[in-house]
Chains A and B, each alone.
Chain A
Amino acid sequence: MALTASDAPRREDARQDGRDGEVKTLDRVVIRFAGDSGDGMQLAGDRFSSETASFGNDLSTLPNFPAEIRAPAGTLPGVSSFQLHFADHETLTPGDAPDVLVAMNPAALRANIGDTPRGAELIVDTDEFTDRAVAKAGYGSNPLQDGSLAAFALHEVPLTTLTVGALKEFELPRKEAERSKNMFTLGLLSWMYHRPTAGTEAFLTRKFARTPKVAEANVAAFRAGWNFGETTEDFAVSYQVAPAANRFAPGRYRSISGNTALAYGLVAAARQSGLPLFLGSYPITPASDILHELAKHKNFGIRTFQAEDEIAGVGAALGAAFGGSLGVTTTSGPGVALKSETIGLAVSLELPLVVVDVQRGGPSTGLPTKTEQADLLQAMYGRNGESPVPIVAPATPGECFTAALEAARIALAYRTPVFLLSDGSLANGTEPWRIPDPDQLPDLRPEFAVDPNHTGADGSADFWPYLRDPDTLARPWAVPGTPGLEHRIGGIEKQSGSGAISYDPANHEHMVRTRQARIDGITVPDLELDDPGGDAEVLVLGWGSTYGPITAAVRRVRADGGRIAQAHLRHLNPFPANLGEVLKSYRGVVVPEMNLGQLAHLVRARYLVDARSLTQVTGLPFKAEQLATTLKEAISVDV
């Protein structure tokens, strides 16, 4: 397999050639960058990911940062980290524990050392280990001097001083020069792992295009870090991780985060439906980046409306949908709570609407920057009355793209609000993504009503807004501006067909059951089952972002001789038609979730299977090794 880094000049190849030091080859590495919230660790991690993706490794990332924008510097609550797992094979998860920990200050070291296995490499900025900073982080003595890090391969590097020294010629204020230490560090790590550098240099030039001096300084810091690795004897060994040769199908790739993929999916859905996109939204972590991304693409005819609150965000989206736009609102759990009444109105109006919930830890404000899957039952049932809403859930960051198209498909074809349940780890995690061909995307064009569909008692043609398509049970979508189809809709129960206000008991019964039947009848693909031997007796069933850890755990179980089947749901309402049959063909069903068993609750109620719940609510993804151990126990219990 031939790999070409598209924008890469040959320079880094020359640099990689002819290295004096020892070069070791690894199959996988987990690196964690950790520092103060203001240290630029997310940017460093992001750039390392892009370099790694373009090099051809598979990768998975886990940004982990506090809700506070700038918690007091040097304190534990202010620590921000970015973990990256890359390999010469499929990675699936961001990695359980770091092989390399970069700690920009004592707090970053203290917050992360507990996750770091003995023998791991530590790179610390010694300039930041002053007595005051050490005490502020809660250390009784300086860990660089008291021997407590003896079990680790410790690299003590004065990153700040080296950065400031490298930027002397730019005559920047010291504070400003210090800010480039993340790029110095990135340069050093890029040298250690033989990463291509041209992408980062081009990125820095683009990012700071308006301040060329800052751009040049950052590039200089980045190069200085690389050169430091090459010249210092501290880093005698560098590492190679070969491209993941069999991992990727031929095609064009990029690195993408879940939120970006989701935003692009919405842009694509608008194009494929031929409708203008209208996003009504209110800023909320971790969903705001979708609003930011869509706001950039006005030349696609996209209207983004930052509303006064969550309710107005969804209200405006629903109003736009009444007018024939693809109406979308994006939020997280607390926002869903506020939008519930309007989503109920959309259920009653039977208008298309996409509701994106990027789930975070709850209840209430909970853990704004951490991940959880605890909004499933809220999406399923969190409205007054019988108010069914379809639910789709992507399994990986890249899948957020197709999930957005799928949510729009269901919304437009069945005239219904649809929930798209992403989560914090999908939203901010990145992975290599095969760029889809726009010409291969599904056709989502809806048919608007343009003619009367009913004959009145006096023989005149009129329009009945609740006269349904016999196959989909969808009602006609007649947008304002269409002559002769003037009609009124509302949240009061409507007479089937005419849509006039009706309090008739039999009609209400009919309408409630019809709304349910419409959602139950949505066509969704069958559940795919992974049971290679066909002889497993236990099935592990997941949904959403647990796909990576579950799949990695299943592989470990199988590698150790265990037999286990795996299936992952992308549709949670309605469930795939074959789900019941799949569940009943196994003696045991195990459902790992980042909640207290919400999917397990649904499948138990629906299919009367004794599904066993494996749950974790730490705000962090499952670790593959732990999950594998639990799955092994499950097999031995259930079989």
Chain B
Amino acid sequence: MSTYESLSLVPRSEAGQVAKDFKSDQEVRWCPGCGDYAVLAAVQSFLPELGLKRENFVFVSGIGCSSRFPYYLNTYGMHSIHGRAPAIATGLAASRRDLSVWVITGDGDALSIGGNHLIHALRRNVNLRILLFNNRIYGLTKGQYSPTSERGKITKSTPAGSLDNPFNPVSLALGAEATFVARTLDSDRKHLTGVLRAAAAHPGTALVEIYQNCNIFNDGAFDALKNRATAEEALIRLEHGRPVRFGADLGQGVLRDTVTGELTTVTVTADNESALLVHDAHAASPATAFALSRLADPNTLQHTPIGVFRDVQRPVYDAAMGDQLDAAVQRQGEGDLAALLTGADSWTVNTPL
């Protein structure tokens, strides 16, 4: 068991736990075949690994299909309102450092109505794990395009095709200088669990984008990354400290153009092999991670990196807030209400004689 710095104040469970301990008694009501099932199963299986008391987990969600997630976990949970889960979770995490607080959100919830809260949570670096289920469509409202839908998307609300450019959630998070940014797939249990493990260990806000299939309104959105035939060429698996290579027999790689500084994909040769970009998730600057996030084609998903883009240390908001309180007590002593109310300018009216 590794130590989880971000969770050092969360009490540890004495009894061993299994996935079943984290299943609530509620019937799961997602559509049959929804990618959310796979993520739920992965999370329920992963949580025992952390060895923390179950009652010290809180899952907070917004509104949308994925935001029903907390109901299915036997932890504390809140299904809040559209877009606001990061704000609510911030208040909880900042006031209770003994809790492991997780936010469950979707592409509409986090990037459309709640975009402001997301970027501010990321810059603030509160101890939160944010799992962003991206299915590139609005499911609960029955199939309108979302802020991650590709341009030209035909939906009920955009019969002539959507007009706006999509957000790339990883680029957005890196732009907000998030300290931990990762992407994974609902269908790759091993990769998903590995990313959750890294996110759980991160002190501060961790954003995990999970590509999740909506088999009703946007089926096959990520097939290019999932089909054996295409995935090899489309997916770029990032591993810290390793050259960025992908494709059949890892025959392709990512190279930095020495003139423009841009990243490009190349066929690996004996000449360029030593010059391939080596992924550094701990780089202080988010610039290279951002450049990696831009490799993916938003329409075809060709050259989509997955894994941990960025994992750096920065002061954690709730810890810093706690430090300020402790410092104030050290400097001024515990608050004295009588002294506060009396203040510096007071006078006495005596009983008339």
Interface residues of A (CB under 8 A from B): 1-7, 50, 53-54, 56, 199, 202-203, 206, 245, 248-255, 264, 267-268, 271, 276, 278, 280, 297-303, 305, 307-309, 311-312, 315-325, 327, 341-342, 344-345, 349, 435-438, 480-492, 500-501
Contact = CB atoms under 8 A, between A and B. Distances in A.
B271 interface: no
B159 interface: no
Given A271-B337, A481-B98, A349 B92 contact: no
Given A267-B335, A299-B329, A307-B87, A3 B79 contact: no
Contacts of B93: 319
A319 B87 contact: yes
A7 B345 contact: yes
Binding site of A, secondary structure by majority: helix, strand, loop or mixed?
mixed
Given A480-B55, A488-B79, 19 more contacts: A249-B349, A250-B349, A250-B350, A253-B348, A264-B340, A271-B335, A271-B337, A300-B335, A300-B340, A315-B91, A316-B87, A324-B96, A325-B91, A438-B337, A480-B57, A481-B11, A481-B96, A490-B70, A491-B63
A255 B345 CA distance: 8
A319 B88 CA distance: 4
Contact of A491 (B56, B73, B79): B79
Nearest to A245: B352
Nearest to B77: A488
A308 to B, nearest CB: 4
Contact of B333 (A250, A255, A299): A299
A203 B344 CA distance: 9
B345 A341 contact: no
A325 B94 CA distance: 11
Contact of A299 (B71, B331, B343): B331
Given A264-B341, A298-B324, A481-B98, A315 B84 contact: yes
Nearest to A264: B341
Given A5-B347, A54-B347, A303 B99 contact: no
A4 B11 CA distance: 55
B260 interface: no
Given A325-B95, A480-B96, A50 B337 contact: no
B325 A298 contact: yes
A320 B70 contact: no
Contact of A323 (B24, B87, B96, B325): B96
Contacts of B327: 298
Given A203-B345, A252-B348, A491-B81, A280 B337 contact: no
A315 B341 contact: no
B95 A276 contact: yes
A480 B56 contact: yes
Nearest to A435: B341
Contacts of A298: 324-325, 327-329
Contacts of A267: 335, 337, 340
A218 B84 CA distance: 49
Contact of A341 (B81, B331, B343): B81
A303 B81 contact: no
B96 A280 contact: no
A612 to B, nearest CB: 40
Given A264-B341, A299-B334, A490-B80, A253 B95 contact: no
Contacts of A315: 80, 84, 87-88, 90-91, 117
Given A4-B348, A488-B76, A489-B78, A278 B90 contact: no
B348 A319 contact: no
Nearest to A319: B91
Question: Closest 10 interchain pairs by CB?
Answer: A490-B79, A316-B91, A300-B335, A319-B91, A315-B87, A298-B328, A312-B87, A319-B88, A319-B92, A488-B77
A327 B345 contact: no
A318 B88 CA distance: 6
A249 B349 CA distance: 7
A397 B98 CA distance: 39
A501 B28 CA distance: 12
A159 to B, nearest CB: 26
A490 to B, nearest CB: 3
B259 interface: no
Given A4-B347, A480-B55, A280 B116 contact: no
Contacts of A491: 63, 79-81
A272 to B, nearest CB: 9
B347 A316 contact: no
B348 A482 contact: no
A490 B78 contact: yes
